[in-house]
Amino acid sequence: MEDITRFATAIRIPFKNIDFLQQAVVHRSYLNEHPDFRLGHNERLEFLGDAVLELVVTEYLYETYPDSPEGDLTNWRASLVNATMLSSIGQDLGIEAYLYLSRGEAQDKQSKARQYILANAMEAIIGAIYLDQGIASASTFIHEYILVKLPYILEHKLYLDPKSKFQEMAQELIGVTPSYRVLSEIGPDHLKQFTVGVYLGDECITEGQGTSKQEAQVAAAEKAIEMKGW
C-alpha cells in the first residue's frame, strides 16, 4: 500500500500525529493476519467520524435551506452520507491504494463488502481529522469532498429511493404509474431468490433479482431508470 503521508498531502491537511490517519485505513481483517501491527483497526475512528459527518451535514442543511421541511432535509442528508456515496468519494480520492487489508479482502475488489470498507474508511478519516485538527478542519474536508455533491444529488433527485424516483419520473414524463410483478421465485424459504418485472402499462421494461420481493423491485427500478436515461 502507498505511504499515508501522500494522502495527507493530497487532502492538504498537515497532521500533527499521522498515526491517526494511518489507523483510519486499517481494516480489522489486516490485524487477523498481522496481529503484531503497531496500530489498531479503524472501527472506533469510524464511529467518531460518522457522528462528526452527520453533525456537519445536518448543520449545513439546516442553515442553507431554512424553508425546507424535516423530511426533505433527512432524505438529502441520507443521500450524502450513505455507503454508496461515501465509497464513490473514497474511490475518487484514491483511498483504496492506502488500505490495510487481509489478502482475501485485498483481492475482492468488486463486492459490496469493498464498498462498505471504503465508506467506513471515509468516516474513519473524518474521525482522524477531527481528533488531530479539530472540528473546523473536519468541517472543511466534509464541505470540500462530500457536501460539494449536493447540487448534483438535488438536480438528479438521487435522494429518492429507486422505486420512488422511477415512479415520479414515469408519472411526470409519460403519465403512467409503474407496477411490479413477481415473475419467478426459486429456492428454499431461507434462500429465496425473486425475479420481479417492472411494467409501464403492459410493457415489461426490465427485470430485477433479489432475496426479497422488495429488494428485487428496487433492483428492477434501478435498471429501469438506467435504461430510460432518467
Q: Which residues are catalytic?
A: 50, 123
> What's the Cα-to-Cα distance from 42 to each of 20, 27, 45, 100, 129, rounded to whole Å?
9, 6, 5, 10, 13
Q: In this structure, what C-alpha cell is assigned to residue 100?
A: 490495510
**Bridge partner residues of 196 (DSSP):** 182, 208
Instruction: Report the alpha-carbon angle 101-109-51, nearest 5.
Output: 65
Q: In this structure, what C-alpha cell is assigned to residue 165?
A: 424516483
**Bridge partner residues of 199 (DSSP):** 179, 204
**Bridge partner residues of 204 (DSSP):** 199
Q: What is the 3-state secondary structure (H, E, C) of 139-195?
A: HHHHHHHCHHHHHHHHHCCCCCCHHHHHHHHHHHHHCCCCEEEEEEEECCHHHCEEE
- Dist. CA 116–CA 135, nearest whole Å: 24
Helix axes 83-93, 70-81, angle to 10 degrees: 40
Spatial strand order in the sheet of 179-186: 179-186, 193-200, 203-210
